[in-house]
């Protein structure tokens, strides 16, 4: 698989990573099976998807434990990314960025992951009660202690930004390769960029993780250019649109109550039907390429086409999906393909 680098330290990973969250958190708990999840992680590593993305809050804790079972056997094959800063309760999630907590959480993650170093330690969410510089400083001390190799920050998403009142008016452009007009506010990630500017003064940011996909391209407006200009790696979360862009979901199929899509406005029967033209466009391109191309692979190839510092991190629970996702790294979209994707209709349904 093609290798890409993260940050000025040039940490190498496969162009397609593996999001491990669906194995333990947020997606249809009845389909979460430990043995199958382990096989999925091994399949991803075999295919060159070296970046394994997890977090202490997934489960909580059980996702790191699962990844740790693989790392015990294959630590040299994997690039481990985990996160700190969010605590999951029964009915809510709260931020904790206190320096003492961050250091204790790192030690706990190391134990669960069965490793002596975390390759990328990401701040899941800044604590509004703690200056982000203090949290980041504690994380930087972990680098100095040899427990962490590099630091990253997860971008504040659309809902959080709007709740915080940081979004303004206007429409972003589509300046990047094959970029689609995002149809959203140009300063959607303004809060994240302000945080990045502040923590960059404390210790270098190696990576930013944010949603980026054909149907959620908002990061193309300002966040990804910010990263590119500073040689900061970009980890594209949810590059398959929570599974919608795979073309395997049926409008009105319904989701289990604990599945995040059961509450997502784009996954109502009406909106899933309304957004089918996006999947149809990806399928047309896949059919032109043949040789195992699928809508999912086209969607992932589009993400990789947005820049050499972009790494796609699709989630997967099954071996066949991990293998299919990894295969997208070999798919090269033509300028014609990218132009066709740019003309697809904007997704309908939002968190507004």
Write out the catalytic residue numbers: 58
Helices (H), ranges, the chain? 34-46, 62-74, 99-113, 132-144, 158-163, 190-200, 223-229, 269-274, 276-289, 295-304, 319-327, 335-342
Give every CB contact of residue 183 below 8 A, 6+ residues apart in sequence: 171, 346, 347
- Determine which helix (DSSP H) or strand (DSSP E) holds 86, and give its type and residue range: strand 86-88
**276-304: buried (b, 16+ CB within 10 Å) or exposed (e) per residue?**
eebbebbbebbeebeeebbbbbbbbbbbb
**N- to C-terminal Cα separation, the chain:** 38
Are 63 and 315 spatial neighbours (Cβ–Cβ below 8 Å)? no
d(CA 93, CA 95): 7
């Amino acid at each position: 698989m093609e290798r890409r680098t993260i940050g000025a330290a040039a940490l190498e990973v496969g162009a397609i990573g593996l999001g491990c969250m669906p194995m333990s958190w947020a997606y249809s708990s009845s389909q979460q099976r430990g043995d199958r999840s382990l096989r999925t992680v091994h399949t991803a590593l075999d295919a060159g998807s070296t970046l394994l993305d997890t977090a202490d809050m997934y489960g909580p804790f059980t996702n790191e434990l699962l990844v740790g079972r693989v790392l015990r056997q294959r630590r040299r094959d994997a690039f481990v990314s985990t996160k700190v800063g969010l605590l999951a309760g029964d009915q809510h999630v709260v931020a904790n960025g206190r320096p003492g907590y961050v250091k204790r959480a790192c030690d706990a993650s190391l134990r669960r992951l069965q490793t002596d170093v975390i390759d990328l330690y990401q701040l899941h969410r800044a604590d509004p009660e703690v200056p982000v510089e203090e949290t980041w400083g504690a994380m930087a001390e972990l680098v100095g202690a040899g427990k962490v190799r590099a630091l990253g920050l997860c971008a504040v998403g659309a809902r959080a930004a709007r709740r915080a009142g940081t979004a303004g008016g206007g429409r972003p452009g589509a300046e990047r390769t094959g970029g689609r007009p995002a149809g959203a506010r140009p300063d959607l990630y303004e809060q994240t960029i302000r945080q990045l500017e502040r923590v960059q003064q404390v210790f270098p940011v190696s990576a930013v993780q944010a949603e980026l996909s054909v149907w959620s391209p908002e990061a193309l407006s300002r966040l990804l250019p910010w990263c590119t200009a500073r040689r900061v790696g970009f980890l594209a979360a949810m590059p398959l649109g929570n599974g919608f862009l795979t073309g395997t979901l049926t409008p009105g199929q319904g989701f289990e109550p604990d599945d995040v899509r059961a509450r997502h406005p784009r996954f109502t029967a009406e909106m899933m039907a309304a957004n089918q033209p996006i999947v149809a466009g990806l399928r047309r391109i896949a059919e032109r390429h043949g040789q195992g191309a699928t809508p999912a692979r086209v969607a992932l190839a589009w993400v990789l086409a947005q820049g050499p510092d972009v790494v796609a991190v699709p989630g997967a629970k099954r071996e066949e999906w991990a293998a299919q996702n990894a295969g997208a790294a070999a798919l090269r979209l033509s300028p014609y393909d990218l132009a066709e994707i740019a003309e697809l209709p904007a997704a309908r349904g939002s968190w507004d």
